């Protein structure tokens, strides 16, 4: 009877133990983002020199694609939420640019970049890094 109780207890605790093993640390989640940032900056640097809003859109598209792929690897709840906000902001900015908003003249773009900066700062505080080099 004691063996059955112990076995039942272990069966009940087993899924909890597996869930804990699968959780991602904040440091590991931030490392994924940092690696994506480095990769994105490297690829963007390989593109032509900055020459205007069309060039900015192309670079933003590359940057965004890399970060969206990296977001799939981030499972830490706090980091994932902050990273999702940044990616959503980049998505909105890319959409605005693709719909004809001028990077230098649009109030919409200014508002979106302000929002992106605020969410980027929150992620920076959480992970301890910045979006520049």
Q: What is the pLDDT of residues 77-95, one digit of tens each?
A: 999 999 999 999 999 988 8
Segments making up each domain of the chain, as ranges: 24-127
Report d(CA 64, CA 113) in Å as an integer.
14
Percent of the chain with pLDDT strictly greater than 70: 74
Q: Is 118 helix (H, G, I), strand (E, B) or coil?
A: helix
The pLDDT of residue 85 is: 96
**Residue 45 pLDDT exceeds 50:** yes
**Residue 102 pLDDT exceeds 80:** no
pTM of the model: 0.74
């Amino acid at each position: 009877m004691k063996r059955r109780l112990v076995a039942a207890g272990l069966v009940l605790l087993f899924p909890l133990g597996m869930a804990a093993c699968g959780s991602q640390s904040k440091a590991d989640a931030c490392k994924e983002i940092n690696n994506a940032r480095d990769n994105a900056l490297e690829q963007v640097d390989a593109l032509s020199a900055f020459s205007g809003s069309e060039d900015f859109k192309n670079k933003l598209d590359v940057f965004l694609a890399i970060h969206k792929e990296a977001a799939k690897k981030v499972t830490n709840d706090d980091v994932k939420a902050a990273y999702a906000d940044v990616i959503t902001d980049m998505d909105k900015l890319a959409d605005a640019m693709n719909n004809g908003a001028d990077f230098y003249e649009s109030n919409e773009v200014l508002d979106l970049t302000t929002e992106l900066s605020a969410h980027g700062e929150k992620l920076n505080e959480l992970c301890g890094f910045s979006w520049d080099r």
